[in-house]
Structure 1
Amino acid sequence: MDDNKDKIIKKINVEKLNVVDKDGNIKMTLFGEGNIPPAIMDGEDILPGHRQDEPLSGVLFYNGEGDECGGLIFGSKRNESGEYHSGLSLTFDQYKQDQIIQVYVDDNNGDQNYGIQIYDRPNIPLPEVVERFKNIQNITDESEKKEALEKLAKGQHQRIFMGKNLNGDIAVRLSDSNGKERIRMVIDKEDIPRMEFLDEQGNVIYSLPPKL
């Protein structure tokens, strides 16, 4: 009998499974509902309690330094009256930052939106962004707080959306480096197509077909 022969396990039931490298470092985690891992970066949980109470299962990815760098999460819940929410999200993160590519589905009692999104992120480590956000919440002056939040959000914008929105429009939306939507291609729920170019203030400056 060959003791080195790979053994085949036909079935295994687990609530959480870590895939590790030869040194025992976690590279990928598969988890069932109630077992979502914490958001680890630089060896610390940067968002304590984040999504711990949500009905989520999935797979999380970890880079060579042990930082979470994306993953697949999915889940749904339905209350006694029959109302439900169902969602799925596949993300890939920028190094030491948040997601820059996301494929998602969101369904809230039949109100659906889904698509692909691409983001810009600043070259500031996410733990620093989280800490700055916490400090901003302690600012009592509302105008000062708003200014600080806008400064923090600089460089963090959705650049591309392609999918279906709650209005039933199928759309491709392209935004500039400030997050301002500049090109919009749409087929609406009445199957009427249009293409629009916008200025920095969001005004349509050219459209196909031309607006009458």
Structure 2
Amino acid sequence: MEKLIREVRILKIYAVSLTIVCILFFILAFKDKTSRQRFEEIDVERINIIEKDGTLKMTISNKKRQHPGMFNNKELKPREREAGLIFFNELGDECGGLVYSADEKESGMVYSFDQRNTDQIMQLQYLEDAGDKKSRTYGLKLWDRPDNFPMEEIMKFEDSLKRLNDPVASKKAYAKLRQEGKLTSERFFAGKTAAGDVGLFIRDTNGKVRLRVYIDKNNQTHIDKLDENGNVIQ
């Protein structure tokens, strides 16, 4: 009889323990998904920021695991890119980013804003040559890009020229694109040039400087209006 009572007591303890374990399991399984976890420090090679449906919106990555880029929800071929942040929009296109790098010869950081369906049109940049040339450039740069030559066509065009491996044919192909208005043109720079000039440098639709307002490295002021051949006319 005592043995039976002892076994019943053990069964009760087992039943209570099992019940507690089951309750804890259900609590953890259906825990509010919006709850946040806090870390004092975390080491990671890459973080993907996604929407609830899995859509990629941003990557924070080291150089080795950096995203190659994406257009029309199609990931580009693997390529070497610097560490930093890459942004993606709702269309599945890369739309900008912040990258940086440095070695014994040069260093730099750029924060880019991309035009829809193509590459950057605005960029904050810092570039430095730490080698023999010892030059440094930094500031805001703007470009014009055509709407009828999207990124996918640009990549196909450049890949075809690489396969062709003909400098003369490549030069003619780029000249044809320029005539058709499909090439990118630098339009504006505000900052410090490699020559030490600080100011505004405005270009025409062909990418040629037509107005300069700057102070040179000798503290001389300049307001220059130039013709399409680069000659000062006013």
Q: Smaller-chain TM-score range? A: 0.7 to 0.9
Q: CA deviation at 1:141?
A: 7.4
Shifted more, 16-25 versus 105-114: the winner is 105-114
Return the alpha-carbon distance in structure 1 between the equivalents of residues 144 and 159 of structure 2.
Answer: 22
Residue 108 (structure 2) pairs with residue 87 (structure 1): yes
Aligned to 2:154: 129
Map of 2:220 onto structure 1: 192
- What is the aligned residue count? 196
Question: Partner amino acid for 2:135?
Answer: D
Contact 1:118/1:159 (CA < 8 Å) preserved in 2?
yes
Structure 1 gap segments, 5+ residues each? 79-83, 207-212
Name the counterpart of 1:116: 140
Letter paired with 1:38: P
Which residue of 2 is the match for residue 58 of structure 1?
84
* CA shift for structure 1 position 69: 0.9
Displacement of 1:59 in angstroms is 0.3
Alignment of 1:8-157 (within 5 A): 8-46=38-76, 48-52=77-81, 56-78=82-104, 84-109=105-130, 110-123=134-147, 124-137=149-162, 138=164, 140=166, 142=168, 144-153=169-178, 154=181, 155-157=183-185
The farther-off stretch of 152-161 and 58-67 is 152-161
Q: Deviations over 1:30-87 (max 9, x none)?
A: 00132211121123344x34334xxx21000001022111100011123xxxxx3211
Q: How far 1:194 sits from its partner (Å)?
A: 0.4
8 Å CA contact 2:109–2:127 kept in 1: the answer is yes
Is the alpha carbon distance of 1:141 and 1:168 closer, same or farther for their aligned partners in structure 2, counting shifts above 3 Å? closer
Alpha-carbon offset, residue 184 of structure 1 = 0.7
RMSD: 2.1
Name the CA distance, whole Å, in 2 between partners of 1:141 and 1:111. 30
How far has the Cα of 1:152 moved from its partner?
A: 2.6
| Cα distance, 1:168–1:141 mapped onto 2, change above 3 Å | closer
Q: 2:197 aligned with 1:160, yes or no? A: no
Aligned-partner residue type, residue 44 of structure 1: K
Secondary structure of the residue aligned to 2:223 is strand
Partner Cα separation in structure 1 for residue 159 and residue 189 of structure 2: 29
- CA change 1:86–1:204 in 2 (3 A) is same
Quick check: which one's helix share is greater? 2
Measure the CA separation in 1 of the matches of 2:167 and 2:97: 38
Larger Rg: 2
How far the C-alpha of 1:200 sits from its partner, in A, is 1.6
SS of 2:152 mapped into structure 1: helix
1:124-168: CA deviations, max 9, x gaps? Answer: 2111012122323427472x4323112334341011011111111
